Amino acid sequence: MKSLQKFVLPLLIVVVIAMIYLFYFKPDNRLGSFSTFDTNNSAVKDIKVKVLVERGINSNSFYVSDNDGTVVLVQADKIPDGIQNSETIVLRGHLNKESFHAHEILLN
Protein backbone atom coordinates (compact mmCIF):
# COMPACT_ATOMS: atom_id res chain seq x y z
CA MET A 1 0.00 0.00 0.00
CA LYS A 2 2.84 2.37 0.81
CA SER A 3 4.43 1.90 -2.62
CA LEU A 4 1.09 2.69 -4.27
CA GLN A 5 0.90 5.99 -2.40
CA LYS A 6 4.30 7.00 -3.79
CA PHE A 7 2.91 6.88 -7.33
CA VAL A 8 -0.40 8.63 -6.77
CA LEU A 9 0.93 12.19 -6.40
CA PRO A 10 3.36 12.03 -9.36
CA LEU A 11 0.64 10.46 -11.48
CA LEU A 12 -1.78 13.24 -10.58
CA ILE A 13 0.84 15.87 -11.43
CA VAL A 14 1.47 14.27 -14.83
CA VAL A 15 -2.28 14.12 -15.54
CA VAL A 16 -2.73 17.80 -14.62
CA ILE A 17 0.19 18.87 -16.82
CA ALA A 18 -1.16 16.80 -19.71
CA MET A 19 -4.63 18.35 -19.32
CA ILE A 20 -3.18 21.87 -19.29
CA TYR A 21 -1.21 21.16 -22.44
CA LEU A 22 -4.08 19.52 -24.31
CA PHE A 23 -6.69 22.14 -23.51
CA TYR A 24 -4.71 25.35 -23.15
CA PHE A 25 -1.47 25.26 -25.15
CA LYS A 26 -2.50 23.04 -28.05
CA PRO A 27 -2.60 25.09 -31.26
CA ASP A 28 -6.05 25.68 -32.64
CA ASN A 29 -6.53 25.29 -36.39
CA ARG A 30 -9.96 26.89 -36.48
CA LEU A 31 -10.54 30.31 -37.98
CA GLY A 32 -11.12 33.24 -35.66
CA SER A 33 -14.14 35.51 -35.56
CA PHE A 34 -14.31 39.25 -36.11
CA SER A 35 -17.20 39.39 -33.64
CA THR A 36 -14.63 39.24 -30.81
CA PHE A 37 -13.19 42.60 -31.93
CA ASP A 38 -14.46 45.96 -30.71
CA THR A 39 -14.40 48.69 -33.37
CA ASN A 40 -13.97 51.33 -30.64
CA ASN A 41 -10.82 49.65 -29.34
CA SER A 42 -7.50 49.96 -31.13
CA ALA A 43 -5.79 47.16 -29.20
CA VAL A 44 -3.77 44.88 -31.46
CA LYS A 45 -5.09 41.30 -31.53
CA ASP A 46 -4.42 38.21 -33.64
CA ILE A 47 -7.02 36.49 -35.80
CA LYS A 48 -6.70 33.54 -38.16
CA VAL A 49 -8.68 34.10 -41.36
CA LYS A 50 -9.19 32.70 -44.86
CA VAL A 51 -7.78 34.75 -47.74
CA LEU A 52 -10.29 35.49 -50.51
CA VAL A 53 -7.91 35.51 -53.47
CA GLU A 54 -10.81 35.55 -55.94
CA ARG A 55 -11.73 39.07 -54.75
CA GLY A 56 -8.30 40.34 -55.70
CA ILE A 57 -5.19 41.42 -53.84
CA ASN A 58 -4.06 45.01 -54.37
CA SER A 59 -0.79 46.58 -53.29
CA ASN A 60 -2.14 47.44 -49.84
CA SER A 61 -5.54 45.74 -49.46
CA PHE A 62 -7.33 42.42 -49.85
CA TYR A 63 -10.39 40.58 -48.52
CA VAL A 64 -10.61 37.85 -45.90
CA SER A 65 -13.34 35.72 -44.37
CA ASP A 66 -13.66 34.55 -40.77
CA ASN A 67 -15.25 31.52 -39.12
CA ASP A 68 -18.73 33.09 -39.29
CA GLY A 69 -18.43 33.89 -43.00
CA THR A 70 -17.99 37.61 -42.39
CA VAL A 71 -16.05 39.20 -45.24
CA VAL A 72 -13.78 42.09 -44.24
CA LEU A 73 -11.48 44.37 -46.21
CA VAL A 74 -7.93 44.31 -44.84
CA GLN A 75 -5.74 47.41 -45.14
CA ALA A 76 -2.02 46.79 -44.68
CA ASP A 77 1.14 48.82 -45.18
CA LYS A 78 3.02 45.81 -46.49
CA ILE A 79 1.54 42.61 -47.88
CA PRO A 80 4.03 39.73 -47.83
CA ASP A 81 4.93 37.85 -50.98
CA GLY A 82 3.20 34.50 -51.26
CA ILE A 83 -0.13 35.59 -49.83
CA GLN A 84 -1.77 34.47 -53.09
CA ASN A 85 -0.68 30.90 -52.32
CA SER A 86 -1.85 30.91 -48.69
CA GLU A 87 -5.28 29.58 -47.86
CA THR A 88 -5.24 30.94 -44.31
CA ILE A 89 -3.20 33.68 -42.64
CA VAL A 90 -2.91 35.27 -39.22
CA LEU A 91 -3.60 38.98 -39.05
CA ARG A 92 -2.25 41.08 -36.21
CA GLY A 93 -4.07 44.38 -35.91
CA HIS A 94 -7.38 45.99 -35.02
CA LEU A 95 -10.84 46.30 -36.55
CA ASN A 96 -12.19 49.65 -37.70
CA LYS A 97 -15.77 50.31 -38.75
CA GLU A 98 -14.88 49.98 -42.46
CA SER A 99 -11.96 47.56 -42.48
CA PHE A 100 -9.31 45.67 -40.53
CA HIS A 101 -5.99 47.48 -40.15
CA ALA A 102 -3.25 44.85 -40.19
CA HIS A 103 -0.02 45.80 -38.46
CA GLU A 104 1.48 42.45 -39.38
CA ILE A 105 0.49 39.55 -41.64
CA LEU A 106 1.76 36.07 -40.83
CA LEU A 107 1.59 33.41 -43.53
CA ASN A 108 0.77 29.83 -42.54
Pick the residue with more confidence: 77 or 101? 101
pLDDT of residue 32: 92
pLDDT of residue 108: 76
**For 37-51, b where at least 16 C-beta lie within 10 A, e where not — what string?**
beeeeeeeeebbbbb
Pick the residue with more confidence: 1 or 13? 13
The answer on pLDDT for 1 being more than 70 is: no
Among 3.40.190.10, 3.40.50.20, 1.10.150.530, 2.40.50.140, what is the CATH number of 34-107?
A: 2.40.50.140
The Cα–Cα gap between 101 and 104 comes to: 9
Percent of the chain with pLDDT over 90: 69
Mean confidence (pLDDT) of the chain: 90
| H or E element that contains 51 | strand 45-51
The Cα–Cα gap between 101 and 103 comes to: 6
Rounded to the nearest 5 degrees, what angle is found at the Cα of 95, between the Cα atoms of 89 and 99?
Answer: 85
Cβ contact 74:102 at 8 Å: yes
The model's pLDDT over 6-28, given as tens digits with 9 standing for 90+, comes to 788 889 999 999 888 888 777 67
Of 24-28, 69-73, 96-100, the one with minimum mean pLDDT is 24-28
pTM of the complete model beyond 0.85: no
Residue 33 phi, psi (nearest 5):
-130, 135
